[in-house]
Amino acid sequence: MNKTVLGVLASGRGSNLQSIIAAIENGRIKARIGVVITDKPDAGALVRAREAGIKAVCIDRRQCTGREEFEERLVGALKEAGVTLVILAGFMRILSPYFVREFKDHIMNIHPSLLPAFSGAHAHRDVLAYGVKVSGCTIHFVDEGMDSGPIILQDTVPVLPDDQEETLAARVLEKEHQLYPRAIELYVNGCLQVEGRHVTIKE
């Protein structure tokens, strides 16, 4: 069987990328990262990738004529690297149906709330404003909607009375770093079966 080739898209510090690199290095995820792509030249994810000896490129959205060119360049770079599974790890751009179709059923995202609650870019702020007692994170396949694809794994954390966005984010992030490598491991091992909205895990 051919080895899964991951393409990781990130916009920021890249701590989830780091957890995936660690899980590959320790042999838990039997795949390799073909390329890391950021949309921002100063993204920490670029540094982390290069330090791990992984090809890393920035496709700066501001230097593209529009979303179409930006996404065509993304797709081109992913295909050139032979990517078979796209991992969105803190990638702060909404991808168009064109991109989703190019890698249909082979794109995963992480979201820092228990979807479908608190989708969007300000999950922790919205969680605290609403007053829920439990939050968490979700790994899901990406479809053409926002944060709406079939859910692979979720985990929970308590929301504490004196939480600020930062303290809640840090608690959720610890779970993210466990959950994303696990979801990728399941995919790579052929353990995920998708039927409509439902993902069955067969181990």
Catalytic residues: 111
With binding defined as CB under 6 A, does residue 10 bind ligand GRF? yes
**Options 7, 34, 112, 136; binder of ligand GRF; rule CB under 6 A:** 112
Binding pattern for the stretch 125-144 against ligand GRF, x by CB under 6 A and - elsewhere: --------------------
> How far apart (Å, rounded) are the C-alpha atoms in residues 53 and 127?
37
Q: What is the dihedral of CA 161, 148, 144, 19, to 10 degrees?
A: 60
With binding defined as CB under 6 A, does residue 33 bind ligand GRF? no
* Shortest Å, Cβ 111 to ligand GRF: 6
* Shortest Å, Cβ 125 to ligand GRF: 13
Give whichever of 111 and 140 is closer to ligand GRF, judged by the CB atom. Answer: 111
Query: Measuring CA to CA, how many Å separate 101 from each of 46, 121, 184?
Result: 26, 23, 20
Binding pattern for the stretch 76-95 against ligand GRF, x by CB under 6 A and - elsewhere: -------------xx-----
Amino acid (1-letter code) at residue 9: L
With binding defined as CB under 6 A, does residue 14 bind ligand GRF? yes
User: Which helix (H) or strand (E) segment is 8 a member of?
Assistant: strand 4-10
HSE-CB of 67 using CA atoms within 13 angstroms: 7
